[in-house]
Structure 1
Amino acid sequence: MPMIEQDDAAARLADIRTRVTAAARLGGRDPARVELIAVSKTHPVEAIRPLIAAGQRSFGENRVQEAQAKWPALRAECPDLRLHLVGQLQSNKAEEAVALFDAIHSVDRESLAEALAKAIGRTGRAPTLFVQVNIGAEEQKGGCAIDALPALLARCGALGLTIAGLMCVPPAEGEPAPYFALLAKLARRHGLPAMSMGMSGDYETAVMLGATHVRVGTALFGARG
């Protein structure tokens, strides 16, 4: 890997980590409790390796098939990588997702929860699970409706699934802070410690408002291919 690419990756990563640390301290939080997920969707392994070399270990992908093509080889090179599914998941891909990912951020309906429970039972792997909430009630986005959240969490519990926390993607227009604050309120109401919220344009705000996982792509990789 050309040294300049490694240096650029290390500089971008260091800058974002510094910003996460500052935001956490402003929010009165421990920076070590925030996991930075480098969202590598659509980026090739050649773009990922410099970040691994710079010390990044958590990565996010949107699609099972793309992850299957990229990550087995990268994990063979670096076994301590942690892989997150941050995109929508079809129920018929549940077993493949459970086999590959260490965390799934997009549990949003009972049928998917049922498929995941079966896959976990068959494979013996139990990824960290987040319920995705459609925090802005946007028809074009995934996530369960806010008023459907209690029932979905209850169904997950009945299936034996452990839900670590909630995930959201706020509306692209407008200020994200109220949506992050609402997700934090919902997480507290349901006794869930983890919150996956915040992307390249708003991760600092998310961290100040309680994010435990931030999903940063463009700020680390540049524009998607």
Structure 2
Amino acid sequence: MTTIADRLAIAHSRIAQAAQKCDRQPSSIRLLAVSKTKPVEDIIAAYQAGQRCFAENYVQEGAEKITALKATYPDIEWHFIGPLQSNKTNIVAQHFDWMHTVSRDKIAQRLNDQRPNELTPLNVCIQINISAEDTKSGIDTDQMLPLAKLITQLPNLTLRGLMAIPTATADTELQLKEFSTLHKLFQELQLHYPSIDTLSMGMSNDLDAAIRCGSTMVRIGSAIFGERNYPA
């Protein structure tokens, strides 16, 4: 039976192999361990295996884990990667280090206003609806620069890059098409804001295509922690 440490090692090996295929340095790609629905004991096991960056999809669950672990494990970097309602922005602003799914002016403004002064600015990514699916969150591509301009004017936020959840498909060509589009948008954003450095895209089923198209941050959950524990 494999352990969390074993599965983390496999994930890092997959990232390294994918990077080498396209002449990239594996160190240029960060692994986010998506720990939603998993207990703090699993996070500690991953931490003890060397993992420091964790991602949560549910606001309250994430805040509870951060509160439980921050005193003993202060060097964990916490990323919020789920949809966010405006009435819960204060939780993300007060607890997390990164927010990947900014897609509205109102959300950005509230995160800025609610970020405690004693914390460093919240790192944010703009979520693009790269597959143009009605059921997906994120902005249309033509809204990227106006939202980026607003974010860069907010002192308690630091714009780091773009994030997307592409079409769920095993079609490699479609994966590459959507990821290539996002990479071009990323390069466009860098022309306006050279400090942009993060392209958050790629999960277990499309990791190779994402890395081939320039991903700097991949999000892996069940391949590390096992199947998720949803309530009945």
State the TM-score, normalized to the length of structure 2: 0.88
Q: How far did 1:122 drift?
A: 4.9
Percent identity (aligned): 39
Aligned partners of 1:87 and 1:106 also within 8 Å: yes
The question of 1:103 aligning with 2:107 is answered: no
Q: Secondary structure of the equivalent of 1:60?
A: strand
- Mapped pair 1:194 → 2:198: yes
Match of 1:209 in 2: 213
Alignment correspondent of 1:118: 113
Whole-angstrom distance in 1 between the partners of 2:134 and 2:121: 30
What one-letter code is carried by the residue in structure 2 that aligns with 1:203?
A: L
Q: Which residue of 2 aligns with 1:179?
A: 178
Q: Which moved more, 1:119-128 or 1:109-118?
A: 119-128
User: Partners of 2:37 and 2:148 in 1: how far apart?
Assistant: 31
Return the match for 1:77 from 72, 78, 90. 72
1:162 paired with 2:128, answer: no
Measure, in 1, the Cα distance between the counterparts of 2:125 and 2:6. Answer: 30
C-alpha distance 50-121 of structure 1, shift in aligned 2 (>3 A): closer
Return the TM-score normalized by structure 1: 0.91
CA deviation after TM superposition for structure 1 residue 134, in Å: 0.5
- 1:127 aligns with one of 93, 115, 122: 122
CA RMSD after TM alignment: 1.7
Match of 1:56 among 48, 51, 55: 51
Report deviation, 1:124.
4.2
Match of 1:190, SS state, is helix
Structure 2: runs of 5 or more not aligned: 191-195
> Hey, what does 1:219 align to over in structure 2?
223
Q: What secondary structure, in the 3-state scheme, does the structure 2 residue paired with 1:166 have?
A: strand
Query: Which residue is equivalent to 1:22?
Result: 17
**2:36 matches 1:32:** no
- The CA deviation string for residues 64-120 of structure 1, in whole angstroms up to 9 with x for no partner, is 200122222222222211110010122222222122111110110111111122123
Change (3 A) 1:134 1:123: farther
Shift of 1:51: 1.2
SS in 1 for 2:205: coil
1-structure distance, mates of 2:206, 2:162: 17
For the 8 Å contact 1:184–1:209, the answer to whether it is kept is yes
Q: Give distance in 1, aligned partners of 2:87 and 2:121.
A: 17
Where do 5+ consecutive residues of structure 1 fail to align?
A: none
Aligned to 2:193: none
Query: Structure 1: which amino acid aligns with 2:46?
Result: L
| Residue correspondences, number | 220
Aligned AA for 1:17?
H
